[in-house]
Amino acid sequence: MSTVQDRELEHLRRLLLKDDRTRITETEVELNTLRKQLSEKEWLISTFSPVLNDVIDLNINRSKDDVAKTLSPVIGPAIKHQIGEAKEEIVDALYPIIGKTVRKAVAEAIKHLADTINNKIENAMRRSRVRNQITAKISGVSPQDLILKEALPFSIQEIFLIHRESGLLMTHVSSTSDAAGMNKDLVSGMLTAIQSFADEAFSQNESQDINEIQYGDQRIIIEAANSFYTAIVVKGVTPARFNGMVTRLLDRIQHQCGSELRDFQGDQSCFGSAKQLLSELIKLFRDSQDEEMQKGQSKRPYGLILVASFIVLVLAIWGVSNLYPYLRTSRHMTGLRNCLQADGGFAHVICNIENSRILLSGSVEDIKTEQRLDSLISTHEAVDYVDNRVIIFTLKQSVISEIEHRFQPYTIDGRLICRLHLDGTTVILEGHVSSRELKRHVGYLAGLVSGIAVVENNLDVSNSIDSKALIDDVEEDPILFASGSYDLNHRQMQELDSLAEWLISHRESWVIIKGFSDQSGSENVNNQISEKRAGVVRVYLFNRGVSHAQLAVQYFGSSLSPKDAELSGRRVELEIRDRR
């Protein structure tokens, strides 16, 4: 009975729970499938990613502060750690992005500043506005740029590309030939050393670079990239666009020579393309300067033409008013001179034109000749234009008397040492003297004679001193001194006079003056006295006209003196040398 009941109960349960069981089975299958999918990362990403961003956005918008509070303790250190681990890579990666963003922001700020300046310039320079507007239209440049360009010249002198870490020069270009004398490697190293020092000495928290160094009218503009920097030596006022151009240039160099810059080991030859880019920058500004110069040269110099025209006009008026009197006087003078020459007695009368008048100067020998001259002038057609300043001068006798007086010390056996010829107011000296000094002195004396206007000094210097005999005498006979003395006696001075005269006429020769002492006394004292002895001889010769270059002094104390000959130890030896 119970079995039957059980069956029926089971049947009833089956009928009642059939749907539930089916649902449970299906749910279990679905649950298993879901469990399996949850363990698969790819499925999770593909499933949740479309909605996850929306969910995060929603949550961040709802409670921004909470999210920041939650994440900041984790994200901050993580970024810091990552930067510390791979600083170079992060800088390399971010440089192109951040650099551009920063540049864009800075460019916006500069543009705003430029607009403000432009407005001010526009208001301030109205006078040249029309001309500038026209020129700007033709050249395709803004009028403001044109005004600034004209007013503020700018040129690049040198550009150095320098390895930032080692300070070694990578490449260099110059616009001038002056750079040839500059040691570019040392300049690069020193700039880097200065940068390093300034950075460590002055920057407080973060690393900073020197941007500019000023030297006179030149400035060194420094622009740094990641592994290198440029030092640009400029003159003048930097154009607004210049910094932007340099930054773009650095980008291009970084792009073109990235691997060479990173792995630089001192080889400068691999920066040919960088050098080309730097040269282009120099050329760009040099060309603009040249254009300006050409423009300046091609301008019509209206002011100059006006001044030149005025000068020509003045000269023309002056010429008309002065030329005729001059021509007239010149014609009269020619006629008068012919008359004087025809007479034959006026050899020392000179004709000249001065202030459109005929000036007669010079001398005649007696009063009769002077009267004849007056008569000749009074009958000549030029009489109204003549100033007569001719004097009577009995030259010969007075000159000869004075010469005899002045040259008294320079006679040998009652005869003058040279021959004198008088030609009017000119004296001609001929003959032989023993030195140049004597020649000069005789000429000077002749010039002092009254009435002598010109001295023709034709004296020959013929040195009568026998060179070989003099050298032998000088070298073989030392100058001896008393104990402790360094005074020269009269005979020694005479010998030195001869030597001085010979040296003056033989400038290619020179003398070594060697001072010695005997062995009595200390070494120090002996050295001093030997120096003084040599010095006395040197000074004596110098005072006689021998040049410094011909005199050399050596002193030896007692080191080279013989022990048994005290007198010969106290000496000065002379040695003649020849430079030829």
Partner 1 sequence: MADVVTLSKKICLLGSFGVGKTSLVRRFVHQTFEENYHSTIGVQLSQRLIALDEKAQFNLIIWDLAHIEKYDNVLKRYLHGAHGAILVFDVSRPETLEALTPMRCFFHENSKGAPCLAAANKYDLLEKDAVDFDTISRNVEALNVRCVYTSAKTDHQVDMTFRTLCSMF
Q: Is 287 helix (H, G, I), strand (E, B) or coil?
A: helix
Which amino acid is residue 179, in one-letter code?
Answer: A
Exactly one of 92, 122, 145, 199 binds partner 1 (CB under 8 A); that residue is 199
Minimum distance from CB of 215 to partner 1 (Å)?
18
Minimum distance from CB of 86 to partner 1 (Å)?
17
Exactly one of 118, 135, 157, 196 binds partner 1 (CB under 8 A); that residue is 196
Exactly one of 190, 284, 307, 539 binds partner 1 (CB under 8 A); that residue is 190
* Tokens found for residue 309: 């025209």
Residue number with CB closer to partner 1 (163 or 439): 163
Minimum distance from CB of 268 to partner 1 (Å)?
6
Residue number with CB closer to partner 1 (75 or 186): 186
- Residue whose tokens read 């009368």: 349
Judged by CB under 8 A, which stretch of 10-18, 189-197, 245-253, 281-289 contacts partner 1?
A: 189-197
Site string for partner 1, 66-105 (x = CB under 8 A): ----------------------------------------
Residue 381, φ and ψ in degrees, nearest 5: -65, -20
Minimum distance from CB of 183 to partner 1 (Å)?
6
Residue number with CB closer to partner 1 (42 or 200): 200
Exactly one of 167, 515, 557, 569 binds partner 1 (CB under 8 A); that residue is 167
Please give the span between the terminal C-alpha atoms of the chain, in angstroms, as a whole number: 159
Site string for partner 1, 147-166 (x = CB under 8 A): ----------------x-xx
Residue number with CB closer to partner 1 (157 or 196): 196
Who's near 107: CB < 8 A, 6+ residues apart? 244
* Tokens found for residue 370: 């002077």
270 near partner 1, rule: CB under 8 A = no
Residue 312, φ and ψ in degrees, nearest 5: -60, -40
CA distance 127 to 145: 16
Cα dist from 312 to 307, 308, 354, whole Å: 9, 6, 25
Exactly one of 2, 259, 269, 408 binds partner 1 (CB under 8 A); that residue is 269
Judged by CB under 8 A, which stretch of 20-28, 238-246, 251-259, 267-275 contacts partner 1?
A: 267-275
Residue number with CB closer to partner 1 (228 or 285): 228
Judged by CB under 8 A, which stretch of 52-60, 198-206, 334-342, 407-415 contacts partner 1?
A: 198-206
Exactly one of 92, 122, 150, 185 binds partner 1 (CB under 8 A); that residue is 185
DSSP notation for 315-378: HHHHHHHHHHHHHHHHHHHHHHHHHHHHHSS-TTEEEEEETTEEEEEEEESSHHHHHHHHHHHH
Minimum distance from CB of 167 to partner 1 (Å)?
7
| Cβ proximity of 318 and 371 under 8 Å | no
| Cβ proximity of 494 and 467 under 8 Å | no
| Cβ proximity of 130 and 214 under 8 Å | no
CA distance 232 to 223: 8
- Residue whose tokens read 């600034």: 148
DSSP notation for 20-85: HHHHHHHHHHHHHHHHHHHT-HHHHHHHHHHHHHHHHHHHHHH-HHHHHHHHHHHHHHHHHHHHHH
Residue number with CB closer to partner 1 (168 or 347): 168
CA distance 396 to 424: 8
Judged by CB under 8 A, which stretch of 7-15, 92-100, 133-141, 181-189 contacts partner 1?
A: 181-189
Residue number with CB closer to partner 1 (190 or 312): 190
Residue number with CB closer to partner 1 (271 or 346): 271
Compute the Cα dihedral for 260, 261, 265, 266 and give only its sign: positive
Residue number with CB closer to partner 1 (167 or 515): 167
* Tokens found for residue 34: 């879901």
Residue number with CB closer to partner 1 (257 or 500): 257
Exactly one of 193, 305, 482, 493 binds partner 1 (CB under 8 A); that residue is 193
Residue number with CB closer to partner 1 (57 or 165): 165
Judged by CB under 8 A, which stretch of 131-139, 183-191, 245-253, 355-363 contacts partner 1?
A: 183-191
495 near partner 1, rule: CB under 8 A = no
List 69's β-bridge partners, or say none. Answer: none
Residue number with CB closer to partner 1 (123 or 265): 265
Minimum distance from CB of 205 to partner 1 (Å)?
13
Long-range contacts of residues 526-531, Cβ cutoff 8 Å, at least 24 apart = 526/557, 526/558, 527/555, 527/557, 529/484, 529/486, 530/555, 530/556, 530/557, 530/558, 531/555
Q: How many residues interact with partner 1 (rule CB under 8 A)?
A: 22
Of residues 292 through 351, those in contact with partner 1 by CB under 8 A are none
Residue number with CB closer to partner 1 (207 or 408): 207
Who's near 558: CB < 8 A, 6+ residues apart? 516, 517, 518, 519, 521, 523, 526, 530, 569
Minimum distance from CB of 188 to partner 1 (Å)?
8
Residue number with CB closer to partner 1 (144 or 195): 195
Which amino acid is residue 361, in one-letter code?
Answer: S
Compute the Cα dihedral for 224, 230, 231, 232 and give only its sign: negative
* Tokens found for residue 353: 């034109």
268 near partner 1, rule: CB under 8 A = yes
CA distance 118 to 410: 89
Exactly one of 114, 168, 347, 461 binds partner 1 (CB under 8 A); that residue is 168
Exactly one of 66, 88, 115, 267 binds partner 1 (CB under 8 A); that residue is 267
Of residues 207 through 266, those in contact with partner 1 by CB under 8 A are 265-266
**Which residues would be at the binding site for partner 1 (CB under 8 A)?**
163, 165-169, 183, 185-186, 189-190, 193, 196-197, 199-201, 265-269
